[in-house]
Amino acid sequence: MKNSATKIKILLVVGVVLLFAKILFFNGKPAQPPAAASPCPPATAPFPSYDAQFAPSDKWCLDNPNGQVFQLSQNYEDAVKSVYEPLAWKKVVTTPEDFKIKWKEYLLAVLTYAYEGNVENDWVVQRNTRRRWFHAPWMHAGSTGREFLHGLTVERPSCAAELIDGKICDDDKLSINNWAVGIYNEPGGFYTGQIWREMLKPHPNPKNFPRDGFPEGTVAIKLLFTQADLDYLKNSVKWQADIYRGAMPPQTMRLLQIDVAVRDDVSPTGWVFGTFMYHDDAPPFEYHAALPPDKQSWLKVVPLGLMFGSETSESILNRQVPVPQHFGCRERLNGPVDNPKSSCLACHAQAEVPADLDFNKLNLTYPPMACDAETDKFWFRYVNPRSRKEAEKTLSAPDKKTVSLDFSLQMRQGIERCCAAKNACQCR
Ligand code: HEC
């Protein structure tokens, strides 16, 4: 007994001496091997490309040394405001009446423009040598935010009946995952930069956002991918996406829908929205350049319609669709995965921010999207931030004190996310 007590004392003394020696010789810093550089790309600034929580693992980066990791295109300060080249669709339509006859030609001219240099480079827009394209900031945050392979974000899910028969399902039947990514051309990137320059200030004030919204000539395109393995998508474009956020390997997603939005003064709202769907049997549309075989699928898309206002007469729908469509409320345009009780422009009219950036109050003021006589008055009213009448500038005007984001829902979602995050935008 005595013996072991002495041993413990000796051990204690040795321990204390070693501790002092460590403090003296290592100057308080624990000795560690130098940190090995991560095989993954460093985080981007000022805006992250994906949420750090859902970044690729070191193992993934080591196993995929040539794997493309999504990088946000965010040099907005280099973007010029005005277009510097003739835009093909401006020659197609000069009055709103022209849309009724030439809507397909118009949409294909826009699609061709958005494809150029992007399809060839797998939509890594930084590699496009023809034109500059930009992503929207702050779509990365949270589990619905950008995944690390292509920067896709969560979309409204679908049910099979919607995608095969154009039927409408109850919300609890919507179990097919859809993810998407949108980009803006240079005038769009310019406006995005102006908004976010304000948002990064110590006390951002939406009243300082550019008054006229996006410059004429702005184009946005959104690529929508589905998890559904449908017959008509067998040869569609396939992208891998980390939709289960590391819990399962990346999944194969198939191109289903392509949306475009164009700032065009011919439209009474200032915007033209159009949508396409992929179909294996669609004849490839005429693209200006030859594409390698693995990129030909991008051409098998069918225009489903165009809209330039929320009046039912301002939607032009394709009646010869390859797959039955539900379209939007009272035959207004929307896409195969969109909410059938809404429509492109009505849903996008929610692109507004409260002047005091308190989103909780604003969200409570929206009636449900029910597609009935009562709520239609709200959702399908005329909205145009460039209108001289205050009451028409935003969806919630004039009583709710909102500032327009000119139909950009990525801008709205980004601002909402940045305001909600800790140590990010100082909104209040
Ligand atoms: C029920 C709501 C809703 C409907 C209907 C809807 N969208 Fe969107 N759209 C969104 C949201 C939310 C975003 C931003 C997040 C994202 O990109 O997924 C968005 C993003 C976009 C973008 C990228 C530019 C931007 O605004 O951020 C385009 C282009 C677009 N939509 C076009 C369309 C077209 C064309 C239609 C109709 C065929 C349509 N949308 C219908 C909700 C909707």
Averaged pLDDT for residues 165-173: 92
Distance 274 CA to ligand 1 centre (A): 11
Is 37 among the domain residues?
Answer: no
Query: Which tokens in the block code for residue 58?
Result: 């070191």
Q: Is 335 in the pocket of ligand 1 (CB under 6 A)?
A: yes
Q: Per-residue pLDDT tens for 103-142?
A: 999 999 999 999 999 999 999 999 999 999 999 999 999 9
Work out which ligand 1 atom sits closest to the CA atom of 154. Answer: 18
For position 26, what pLDDT does the model report?
Answer: 46
CB neighbour class for 373 (10 Å; exposed up to 12, middle 13-18, buried from 19): exposed
Question: At residue 395, does pLDDT exceed 90?
Answer: yes
For residue 2, the model assigns a pLDDT of 47
Q: Whose CA is nearest to atom 39 of ligand 1?
A: 344
- Ligand 1 binding pocket includes 180 (Cβ within 6 Å): yes
Q: Which of 219, 257, 259 has the most ligand 1 atoms within 8 A of CB, as the residue to mutate?
A: 259
Residue carrying the six token digits 């292509």: 150
Judge whether 427 lies within some domain: no
- The pLDDT tens digits for 36-81 are 688 999 999 999 999 999 999 999 999 999 999 999 999 999 999 9
| Contact 258 CB / ligand 1 (< 6 Å) | no
Could you tell which of 269, 330, 409 is best to mutate to test the pocket of ligand 1, judged by most ligand atoms within 8 Å of the CB? 409
Q: What is the mean pLDDT of residues 357-384?
A: 93
pLDDT category, 33, cuts 50, 70, 90? low
Kindly report the average pLDDT of the chain as a whole number.
Answer: 92
So what's the pLDDT on residue 36? 67
**In angstroms, rounded to a whole number, what is the distance separating the alpha carbons of residues 314 and 369?**
19
Residue 271 near ligand 1, beta carbon < 6 Å:
no
- What's the token pair of residue 238? 């396939």
Kindly report, residue by residue over 197-220, the tens digit of the pLDDT: 999 999 999 999 999 999 999 999
Query: Which pTM value belongs to this model?
Result: 0.92
Q: Which two tokens stand for residue 30?
A: 């624990």
Nearest CA to ligand 1 atom 15: 410
* Residues 64, 62: Cα–Cα separation, whole Å: 5
- Can you give the pLDDT at residue 399? 73
Q: Is residue 280 part of a domain?
A: yes
345 domain residue, yes or no? no
pLDDT of residue 327 exceeding 50? yes
Least confidently predicted of 64-68, 88-92, 188-192, 305-309: 64-68
Residue 408: CB within 6 Å of ligand 1?
Answer: yes
Tell me the CA–centroid distance for residue 409 and ligand 1, in Å: 6
Distance 399 CA to ligand 1 centre (A): 25
Atom of ligand 1 nearest to the CA of 338: 5
CB 314 within 8 A of CB 307: yes
| Atom 9 of ligand 1, nearest CA residue | 409
Atom of ligand 1 nearest to the CA of 351: 26
Instruction: Tell me, in angstroms, the distance from the centre of ligand 1 to residue 366's CA.
Output: 18
Q: Per the domain annotation, does 146 fall within a domain?
A: yes
Measured in Å, residue 348 CA sits from the centre of ligand 1 at: 6
Tell me how many domains the chain contains: 1
CA pair distance 299, 280, nearest whole angstrom: 10
Mutate to test the pocket of ligand 1, among 222, 329, 412 (most ligand atoms within 8 A of CB): 222
Q: How far apart are CA 297 and CA 107, in angstroms?
A: 18
Inside any domain, residue 333 = yes
Rounding to the nearest 10 degrees, give the CA dihedral for residues 390, 362, 151, 283: -60
Structure tokens at 67: 């794997």
Q: 409 CB under 6 A from ligand 1?
A: yes
Of the pLDDT bands very low, low, confident and very high (cuts 50, 70, 90), residue 393 is: very high
Of 14-28, 145-159, 257-271, 330-344, the range with the lowest mean pLDDT is 14-28
Does the C-beta of 410 come closer than 6 Å to ligand 1?
yes
User: Atom 22 in ligand 1: which residue has the minimum CA distance?
Assistant: 222
Question: Is ligand 1 within 6 A of the CB of residue 404?
Answer: no
Task: Please report the pLDDT score of residue 37 as a whole number.
Answer: 84
CA-closest candidate to residue 102, choices 268, 282, 266: 266
Q: Does 314 map to a domain?
A: yes
Residue 287 CA to residue 165 CA, distance in Å, equals 30
Peptide bond into 398 cis (omega under 30): yes
Q: How many Å apart are CA 105 and CA 272, to the nearest integer?
A: 13
Can you give the pLDDT at residue 34?
A: 61
pLDDT tens digits along 94-112: 999 999 999 999 999 999 9
Q: How far is the CA of 55 from the centre of ligand 1 (A)?
A: 25
Report if residue 3 sits inside a domain.
no
Provide the domain limits for residue 64: 48-339
Task: State pLDDT tens for residues 175-197.
Answer: 999 999 999 999 999 999 999 99
Ligand 1 pocket residue status of 182, Cβ below 6 Å = yes
Question: Is the CB of 403 inside a 6 Å radius of any atom of ligand 1?
Answer: no
Does residue 21 have a pLDDT over 50?
A: no
Confidence of residue 32 (pLDDT cuts 50, 70, 90): low
Residues 300-311: what's their mean pLDDT?
A: 98
Q: What share of the chain has pLDDT > 90, as a percent?
A: 87
Size of the chain in residues: 428
CB 148 within 8 A of CB 426: no
Cα(344) to ligand 1 centroid in Å equals 7
Residue nearest to atom 43 of ligand 1 (CA): 347
> Is residue 268 within 8 Å of 384, Cβ to Cβ?
yes
For 351-365, how does the pLDDT look when each residue is reduced to its tens digit (9 = 90+)?
A: 999 999 999 888 878
Residue 276 tokens, joined: 């396409």
